[in-house]
Structure 1
Amino acid sequence: MKKILVSGCLFGWHCRYDDGDIPCLDERFLQWKAEGRLVPVCPEVFGGLPTPRPDSQRVGDKVLACTGFDVTAPYEAGAIEAVRLAQENEVAFALMKEDSPSCGSTYIYDGTFTDTKIQGQGRAVELLREAGFPVLNENMLDQAEMLLKEQEK
């Protein structure tokens, strides 16, 4: 049975910067969860950041908190841990939370803290892709379902 790396907030963990979650309630996702396929990860928490924590956004190669504090090091550590978990569990792909400075796969916030999104990827997604893992987001479950079927042939 192929596994899927998944953002902790989609899995149902209260690990977002605001201590919230955004659980994915799609029946396919819930089925994968019931089957034990999902490997949850929160790169921010796994990198040592608390919950709740100040909102952070990518600015070039850095990650800055809304307070101006540079939080690049814990984001990097969490991204490395996400890759380690993906490799250890031989995941088929990762399903990550869009817009996040760690987990965004097509869009992230632009670093101005004005709710402006730009094309880009979070640091964990960047490292996962560099390691050869396909990365999708919660809006791509049709593609995820097809990819899982292909990899299980």
Structure 2
Amino acid sequence: MSACLLGKKVRYDGNALTVADEVVARWRSEGRIVSVCPEVEAGMSIPRKPAEISRGNGQHVLSGEAEVIEKGGHNVTHEFLAGAELALDLCRKFDINVAVLAEFSPSCGSTMIYDGSFSGNKIPGMGVTAALLREHGVRVFSQHQMVEADNTLTGKSV
């Protein structure tokens, strides 16, 4: 689960995006949660400049067709790829097949990301980590899909 969703102040702006949800509370009590912030795991600072995917989405970054650029122009594609690999390593280590990641993030967005213009516009697409995890069979959900994630995890029909 994205660390920011668990109340950790790891977002680019130094804040959290805490999800207060009964599913999260139950998962915590059951010891089901592994926390990750791909950018921080890759060595990026808190706070850091906002970053967006330029000319595509996470799948395009993985294939080398797009880049992750910080506001101001610095290319941080390498860091985002490294963070995605570290998240995938955690999934393998802990046999994780369901992930809940922060929507709109250039790492963690699962259905929508910012368009790369730093204007607040959102487009359909996945972030780099979400795309890599899905590529390796992990079911990725946003914080707005906690019930669906829980049903997938527990094997209940949706």
User: What TM-score comes out, normalization by structure 1 length?
Assistant: 0.93
Please state whether the residue corresponding to 1:118 is helix, strand or coil. Answer: strand
Deviation at 1:35, TM superposition (A): 1.9
1:116-149 Cα deviation digits (max 9, x unpaired): 0000100000100111111001111121121111
Give the whole-Å Cα distance in 2 for the aligned partners of 1:75 and 1:149. 30
Structure 1 gaps, min length 5: 1-5
Give the structure 2 partner of residue 7 of structure 1.
2
What's the counterpart of residue 113 of structure 1?
118
- Structure 1 counterpart of 2:75, from 55, 70, 75: 70
Match among 26, 34, 50 for residue 55 of structure 1: 50
Specify the alignment match of 1:98 in structure 2: 103
Return the alpha-carbon distance in structure 1 between the equivalents of residues 120 and 69 of structure 2.
15
Query: What is the TM-score with the length of structure 2 in the denominator?
Result: 0.90
Within 2, Cα distance between the matches of 1:19 and 1:90?
Answer: 30
Structure 1 distance, partners of 2:141, 2:126, is 11
Q: Secondary structure at the residue paired with 1:104?
A: coil
**Greater than 3 Å deviation, 4+ residue runs:** none
Distance 1:67 1:35 in 2: 43
Could you list the runs of 5+ residues in structure 2 that have no partner in the other structure?
A: 57-65
Q: Report the 3-state secondary structure (helix = DSSP H, G, I; strand = E; otherwise coil) of the residue aligned with 1:63.
A: strand
Question: Where is the strand percentage greater, Structure 1 or Structure 2?
Answer: 1
- Matched letter for residue 84 of structure 1: D
